Structure 1
Amino acid sequence: MSDTDKVFAGSIPKIYDEYLVPLIFAHYAADIAKRIAALSPSTILETAAGTGAVTRAVTAALPPGIRYVATDLNEPMLAIAAQRQGEDPRMAWRQADATALPFGDAEFDVVCCQFGAMFFPDRVKGYAEAKRVLRPEGTFVFNVWDRIEENVFADDATAALGKMFPDDPPRFMVRTPHGYHDKAVIRADLEQAGFRHISIETLAAVSRAPTPEYVAFAYCQGTPLRNEIEARDASKLQAATDLVAEALRSRHGSGAVEGKIQAIVIEAR
């Protein structure tokens, strides 16, 4: 993973929340919320909370009186999450590294993480930290993206940008968001961290957008893919976005578009 893969700064957090969350994250946030609600927890920790897609979904599904702590390493993302959540006495917000959590042992009934494990520099350490702060019989619920070929818009964007920068194609989407999908590896990492009861399943859905331009803007300017484009030629950000939009129009049409997305969902106890 490149150092820039973890940089969500500038206008990226706002675009990410306004465009990418409804495009690809909301469906899986609702899925995690349903799973957590079925566990009836009283204390929940979220790591790598981003702009709060899961936070909003989970808190909407749970009753008053719970304790929910949302954390992220990236303060600009967490600031948007807190703003979007609004006043909620159940909530606490804290900048924290998922691989070095500032909490005591056995504090939480549930630890959840949406599409964050791919960014952990040491996944076994991150999983071990989740296990450490879980109470006995607690549950770690998280998801990761499946391989990029199962996620149509991300694959289309990566292929188009490869044509613009053939000598050094931007590979952020392949390398990081879609780079940790081997179920055997995921299970082995969790077992090394001390989990013994592990459920892993594949969950497909459909990503929808009003236009190809919406999708191109979301991926090229609302993710660290933007950092890769600008590192190659900052003057070409809009041209790169337009190129991706044209590729999407060619494949999916110029009106409302839809494409398959697919994730892997894990519950570990």
Structure 2
Amino acid sequence: MSDHDKVFAGSIPKFYDSYMVPLIFAGYAEDMAERVAALKPAAVLETAAGSGVVTRALAARLAPEARYVVTDLNQPMLDHAAQRQGADARITWRQADALAVPFDDASFDVACCQFGAMFFPDRVAGYREARRVLKPGGHFVFNVWDRIEDNVFADDVTNALAGMFPADPPRFLARTPHGYHDAVLIRDDLEKAGFSDITIETRSEQSRAPSAHHVALSYCQGTPLRNEIESRGSLQEATEHAAAALAKRHGPGEVAAKIQALVVTAMN
């Protein structure tokens, strides 16, 4: 994974929250919030919180006396999330690396992470750190995207950009968001970190958008794919190229296609 894959700065947080969240993240955030809330935790740690889509869904479900610590490696994303959430005395916002969170051992009942583990440079270390801060019997709940071929819009955009930049195709989507989908490997990494009672569930949904251009704008300008495109050529031209390819396959009006992820729960 390139260091650029972790850079969510500049205008990316705004585009990410406005476009990517409703396109692919919102449904999975509701699912994660329901899973975590069902455990009735008194203390929750969220890592790699991004623009706060899980935070908003989960805070509404937690008890009034619950303690909720929300972290992300990228301060601009965390600032955006805090602004969207508004005042909530239960929530503490903290910039932190998921591989080295600044919290005591056995501090939380649940640790959760939505679509962040793919970005961990050392996943076993990240899982070990989640386990360290969990109380005995605590739960680690996270999800990762399945292979890019099962996430149609991401695959379409990747293929379209490969046609535009054949000598050096931008591969961020395939390399990182969709690069950690082997359930056997995920289970093995969790076991190496000391987790037991691991469940891995495949969950498919429909990604919907008002137009193909909306999808292209989401992926090309609302993710670190933007950084790869801008290093090769015009962001606007690439966005329009991807939009044309999407419209050719899915039509000019409202569009919908399959997205798929793995939802993982492990007990300390």
Cα distance, 1:63 vs structure 2: 2.1
User: Aligned letter for 1:130?
Assistant: A
Question: For 1:24 and 1:60, how far apart are their aligned partners in 2?
Answer: 20
Deviations 1:119-155 (A, max 9, x none): 0010000000000000010000000000000000000
* TM-score when normalising by structure 1: 0.99
Q: How is 1:211-222 mapped onto 2 (pairs within 5 angstroms)?
A: 211-222=211-222
Q: Give the structure 2 partner of residue 252 of structure 1.
A: 250
Question: For 2:186 and 2:7, how far apart are their aligned partners in 1?
Answer: 24
User: Aligned letter for 2:263?
Assistant: V
Cα distance, 1:162 vs structure 2: 0.2
Structure 1 unpaired stretches of 5+: none
Q: How is 1:81-100 mapped onto 2 (pairs within 5 angstroms)?
A: 81-100=81-100
User: Aligned letter for 1:104?
Assistant: D
Within the alignment, does 1:197 sit opposite 2:197 as a pair?
Answer: yes
- SS for the counterpart of 2:50 is coil
Question: For 1:46 and 1:136, how far apart are their aligned partners in 2?
Answer: 18
Cα distance, 1:232 vs structure 2: 1.2
- SS for the counterpart of 2:163 is helix
Q: Give the structure 1 partner of residue 155 of structure 2.
A: 155
* TM-score when normalising by structure 2: 0.99
Deviations 1:105-131 (A, max 9, x none): 000000000000000010000000000
User: Aligned letter for 1:264?
Assistant: L
Structure 1 residue ranges, 4+ long, deviating more than 2 angstroms after superposition? none
Aligned residue among 222, 238, 241 for 2:239: 241
Question: For 1:203 and 1:37, how far apart are their aligned partners in 2?
Answer: 19
Q: How is 1:94-173 mapped onto 2 (pairs within 5 angstroms)?
A: 94-173=94-173
Length, aligned pairs only: 267
Give the superposed CA RMSD.
Answer: 0.5
Q: How is 1:225-240 mapped onto 2 (pairs within 5 angstroms)?
A: 225-233=225-233, 236-240=234-238
Deviations 1:206-247 (A, max 9, x none): 0000011111000000000000001112xx110000011001
Question: For 2:20 and 2:239, how far apart are their aligned partners in 1?
Answer: 15
Identical counterparts, % of pairs: 69
Structure 2 unpaired stretches of 5+: none
User: Aligned letter for 1:32?
Assistant: M
Cα distance, 1:196 vs structure 2: 1.2
Q: Give the structure 2 partner of residue 265 of structure 1.
A: 263
